[in-house]
Amino acid sequence: MSDVRACLQEALSRGMVRTNMLTLVDATRFHGIVEWEVLYDIVKLAPWGSAPPPESRVAYVARDGFFFQLVKIAASIFPRANHRLFTDRLEALDWLREAQLSA
């Protein structure tokens, strides 16, 4: 985890990652387990979702609705962001673009 934390910390300090970024998580090929402790470490790095517009959004693309429970958990860990599950990648990207247009 130290590599992930160090990389994100550097990206935050350089302005390459912002706390209100629009994010696409493509889980269509996901097989395995979620390492929740990594997400808990990441949430401690910054006040994710707290920056000015655009609204912080995370679009998840998965093969089916089974991933919905994982999205609910992620949303509880990162409550300032708007989280939504999609089965179509283009619909997810359109939803992310809407945030940019409304900013």
What proportion of the chain, given as a percentage, has pLDDT over 70?
98
Higher-confidence position of 1 and 41: 41
Give SS3 for 101.
helix
Which CATH class for the 4-102 domain? alpha beta
- Helix 36-43 vs helix 68-77: crossing angle, to nearest 10: 30
pTM, rounded to two decimals: 0.88
pLDDT of amino acid 103: 67
pLDDT of amino acid 97: 94
Give the mean model confidence (pLDDT) for residues 88-99: 95
The rounded distance, in Å, linking the Cα atoms of 21 and 49 is 8
